[in-house]
A and B are shown apart, each in its own frame.
Chain A
């Protein structure tokens, strides 16, 4: 099995072989570069991928596609597929950077009038904070979320903004490209492997949850057993559409933290936060092990961006911390409050953020802190 570090050593030979094929006359538009950003930790990774016949069916019917992605290479790769796909003859593509989402973005997007939006959830979330009234995008009929884990809340928000639009989630890695795509029958966070991709799980726990391992077959550029750094599981039964499926929980140590026998998931934090959004608009959670006497206990700190002044009152802070712990499931059957009562976790600590959280490409809402 290969980690990113392994690939760093293995890839140069594969890259050189492909670049030699390019130098020997194979068409340039059979190749794309993939470069991991390293934003989730670790080293960047450059990979040459060979896609002699690759098109993206998602571009086939779109006339005006807007792609929101932080990496130029990802935006270029979208353009690469857009060029090669048999689109309507008048199809146009607008590739947007985070820097494009300023106070004029709504006006420019209205001018472009996209019918298809592709983007990472944090980009699209930022877009709708501009503010941007979805009514200025009347033609949107399809949305594909890519690049990072989306929350169910955000997907529901998009559905409410664009009730007639087809909403898809995709799962992709910057260094590999597309891995999974949602379908109309799968619940949120579950995907079918895309063509030529197979998924296994490394080091699974009792629930089958472990690190997702991807193998991707290309004509000259196989990726074998690549450890993604993401947590998930294979689903035991095929989807009703007949295809195998897998579930993604997020980045290990970030979106998914195993601590003291509990499983902390960003999605679950977001669910509870949405129930308490009268009090705060956003949060960051930090989990750590702390020494208590001769032993250790798990500790969870929730930093929240308060709405109004309600949370300035210490009694309300305590109430909200208690409610959060009572509602947050940290195992399939137990809440944080249960594990506090059992002495496994310390009581939840709530802290107020004095300034809004910065808009980030990949907001890390939950993380394990190594003290």
Chain B
């Protein structure tokens, strides 16, 4: 963790600790140092009503997270949403095609917040999505591993993806799919993200096309690896802050740095 990150983390923890909301305080007990704070997990999000893990109230979007054993609500203010990071290949005429509709709507609003007009697609109707993508002449595709294969099968019948940059969002990335996308599209940016945390890591652009992709933390996140699991802290005071959150993603640090000078990690299947 850099000194700047350390300072931001400490400010975040202090703000959360003194908030009227006691969600984290009750969990942390007397632990003081960031490294000693007990890890947070999704079960506590599920078990705690939305209003009891609310640290601030701002205009925004509420979404249902369905990726786990029970659904729960999370909220993204427009400001926080705008600060999310998806790399530099999001285009000017993007198609947002994600299997989860709440994620798709949230990412579409991210584009509006960045003054980019998004086209949103229904993944269960590839011919119509392809038709609309063609009419809009998309230059970027924001997608995930479930939504993109049927779309490609349909779209590539009559269209070329060579001018389309792909942002692939998920918590794991199938090498065969990455290879397929890298061979057919302009470039591919895998972005690590969970619905409840937002984005927290991104594939290193320097080793694009490599057999094994390296990942870096996003600027707004601090990542730790504990017992082989990626732990994320978002350096943003979210409605429900994300502090030492267990992602369930297996990862390991590289012993040496990458070409870009940062210390990367790799995902472990």
B partners with A: yes
| Interface contact B75-A92, CB-CB below 8 Å | yes
- Give min CB distance, B70 to chain A, whole Å: 7
Cβ-based interface call for B73 (8 A): yes
Give chain A residues whose Cβ lies under 8 Å from the Cβ of B60: 92-93
A27-38 interface code vs B (CB 8 A; 1 in, 0 out): 111010101001
| Interface contact A83-B120, CB-CB below 8 Å | no
| Interface contact A83-B73, CB-CB below 8 Å | no
- Give min CB distance, A175 to chain B, whole Å: 12
Residue in chain A with minimal CB distance to B73? A111
| Interface contact A33-B119, CB-CB below 8 Å | yes
User: In the complex, what distance in Å separates the CA atom of A87 from the CA atom of B120?
Assistant: 24
Cβ-based interface call for B267 (8 A): no
| Partner among B62, B116, B118 whose Cβ is within 8 Å of the Cβ of A93 | B62
User: In the complex, what distance in Å separates the CA atom of A100 from the CA atom of B58?
Assistant: 24
| Interface contact B128-A35, CB-CB below 8 Å | yes
Select the stretch in A68-76, A138-146, A245-253 that faces chain B: A68-76
Given A23-B92, A76-B108, A94-B62, the answer on whether A29 and B115 have CB atoms closer than 8 Å is yes
Given A35-B128, A72-B121, A112-B50, the answer on whether A93 and B61 have CB atoms closer than 8 Å is yes
User: In the complex, what distance in Å separates the CA atom of A71 from the CA atom of B75?
Assistant: 21
A43-82 interface code vs B (CB 8 A; 1 in, 0 out): 0101000000000000000001000000111011001100
Given A72-B101, A76-B108, the answer on whether A46 and B131 have CB atoms closer than 8 Å is yes
Given A72-B105, A93-B61, A111-B73, the answer on whether A83 and B50 have CB atoms closer than 8 Å is no
Give chain B residues whose Cβ lies under 8 Å from the Cβ of A112: 50, 62, 73
| Interface contact B120-A72, CB-CB below 8 Å | yes
Residue in chain A with minimal CB distance to B119? A33
Residue in chain B with minimal CB distance to A88? B59
Cβ-based interface call for A104 (8 A): yes
Cβ-based interface call for A209 (8 A): no
Given A72-B105, A90-B59, the answer on whether A108 and B71 have CB atoms closer than 8 Å is yes
Give chain B residues whose Cβ lies under 8 Å from the Cβ of A132: none
| Partner among B59, B120, B135 whose Cβ is within 8 Å of the Cβ of A91 | B59
| Interface contact B131-A90, CB-CB below 8 Å | no
| Interface contact B117-A22, CB-CB below 8 Å | yes
User: In the complex, what distance in Å separates the CA atom of A122 from the CA atom of B101?
Assistant: 19
A204-247 interface code vs B (CB 8 A; 1 in, 0 out): 00000000000000000000000000000000000000000000
Given A19-B136, A46-B131, the answer on whether A95 and B102 have CB atoms closer than 8 Å is yes
| Interface contact A83-B109, CB-CB below 8 Å | yes
Label chain B's interface by main secondary structure. Answer: mixed
User: In the complex, what distance in Å separates the CA atom of A35 from the CA atom of B132?
Assistant: 9
Interface residues of A in 9-45 (CB under 8 A from B): 12, 15, 19, 22-23, 27-29, 31, 33, 35, 38, 44
User: In the complex, what distance in Å separates the CA atom of A90 from the CA atom of B75?
Assistant: 11
- Give min CB distance, A336 to chain B, whole Å: 39
Give chain A residues whose Cβ lies under 8 Å from the Cβ of B50: 111-112
- Give min CB distance, A63 to chain B, whole Å: 9
Cβ-based interface call for A89 (8 A): yes
Cβ-based interface call for A292 (8 A): no
| Interface contact B112-A71, CB-CB below 8 Å | no
Size range of the interface on A? Answer: 35 or more
| Interface contact B64-A108, CB-CB below 8 Å | yes
Interface residues of B in 31-59 (CB under 8 A from A): 49-51, 57-59
A245-289 interface code vs B (CB 8 A; 1 in, 0 out): 000000000000000000000000000000000000000000000
| Interface contact B59-A89, CB-CB below 8 Å | yes
| Partner among B73, B75, B116 whose Cβ is within 8 Å of the Cβ of A108 | B73
B182-221 interface code vs A (CB 8 A; 1 in, 0 out): 0000000000000000000000000000000000000000
| Interface contact B62-A44, CB-CB below 8 Å | no
| Interface contact B122-A28, CB-CB below 8 Å | no
Cβ-based interface call for A97 (8 A): yes
Interface residues of B in 128-156 (CB under 8 A from A): 128, 131-132, 135-136
B65-83 interface code vs A (CB 8 A; 1 in, 0 out): 0000011110100100000
| Interface contact B116-A75, CB-CB below 8 Å | no
Interface residues of B in 205-243 (CB under 8 A from A): none
A-B contact pairs, 21 of them (CB 8 A): A12-B135, A15-B135, A22-B117, A28-B117, A29-B115, A33-B136, A44-B131, A46-B132, A72-B101, A72-B105, A72-B121, A79-B108, A83-B112, A87-B59, A91-B59, A95-B61, A95-B102, A96-B64, A111-B49, A111-B72, A112-B62
Known: A35-B128, A112-B62. 16 other contacts (CB 8 A): A19-B93, A33-B117, A33-B120, A38-B128, A44-B131, A64-B62, A72-B101, A76-B118, A79-B61, A90-B59, A94-B61, A94-B64, A97-B102, A99-B101, A100-B64, A108-B72
